[in-house]
Amino acid sequence: MTLRKIIHIDMDAFYASIEQRDNPELRGKPIAVGREEERGVVAAASYEARKFGVRSAMASTRARKLCPELIFVPGRMEVYKKVSEQIRDIFAEYTDLIEPLSIDEAFLDVTENKKGMELAVDIAKEIKRRIREELHLVASAGVSYNKFLAKVASDYRKPDGLCTIHPDQAQDFIDHLPVEAFWGVGKVTAKKMHELFIHTGKDLRACSLEMLTHYFGKAGQLYHDFARGIDERPVEVIRIRKSLGCEHTLERDLTSRTSLIIELYHVTTELVERLKRHNFRGNTLTLKIKFHDFTQITRSQSTVQPLVTLQDILPLAKQLLKEVDCEHHAVRLIGLSVSNPQEDRKGVWRQLELPFKR
């Protein structure tokens, strides 16, 4: 069996790097892409800012406290999209098997590539060089025989990293990985694993499939395979959209249910416009609420008929809101999404971007 050759390319501090590239006065300085205001959120941070603990999705007020010299720069999504397309054009010179994960990262399957290059690491080096020379930006790359290891490798030596995980080195590499580095293991899952005395890939590999599925459900199979260097997922060029949604960060924290219903109406109106624009029809509505302390909950309900119009969605959204204790927990953000698409839908999409949200 021929081993696949997978590359994961991840742009380093993508939005912030573009701003520093286009404005020489910002180079070498801590910058944050986003709005500097009480309700603002950091969309991206330069590596100079990250040294102070500034991170994406952080409240702007918190970022300012961590880094008093932080420079806020308004986002320019149209520019970022254009640069992303230029990067993708470079990828396409080597392979057509490209799976974008977001606007600034993608998987490439170069097992059979257009250049006839034998080593995937040479392709990764060439792509990194071209991104630097042609676009004046920096990318990190990971190379391995599956998506999981390629992703881990690209994160291993950031920024400007290049790491190859060979098959004969993979198990030892995985055994020494902290579980936080595993794909799909967030803070909550990592905490649960630590409570089960699972701290490294070696600890994870010692767990039975039955144990992992008992504690982590379907994801248990994934963790079981990853701990053994197994990941058969292909690089997918086209995906069926599984959900569509929108969310609003409120101008001020709200506890009034009446005020929240008004905001819910605005979110629903925007969602209906997006559903129409993308010709998306789903049967499950999910309400997302983020409280003043940044904790969040979701509430979902499925219907027999597709959720398409304001009349379909708003009453159901109000019903979901009734399940939320807003009077004692001020709400900072409210969002809605429709998922569980109908099987006969013909639309497909390419996952190219993660847009800014209000």
Say how far apart CA 279 and CA 288 lie, in whole Å: 22
**CB proximity list for 267: less than 8 A, separation 6 or greater:** 246, 247, 248, 317, 334, 335, 336
Whole-number Cα distances in Å, 254 to 245, 257, 293, 320, 329: 21, 8, 13, 17, 9
Q: Say how many residues make up the chain.
A: 358
Exposure letters 207-239 (e unless 16+ CB within 10 A, then b): beeeebeebbeeebebbbbbbebebeeebeeee
φ and ψ of 121, to 5 deg: -65, -30
Nearest to 134 by CA among 87, 100, 80, 77: 87
Question: Residue written as tokens 């081993």?
Answer: 3
Catalytic annotation, residues:
105
296 DSSP β-pair partners: 290
Torsion of CA 152, 158, 161, 163, to 10 degrees: -20
Q: How many CB atoms lie within 10 A of CB 100?
A: 21
Count CB atoms within 10 A of the CB of residue 5: 23
Whole-number Cα distances in Å, 181 to 174, 177, 194, 270: 10, 6, 13, 36
Q: How is residue 16 written in tokens?
A: 């912030």
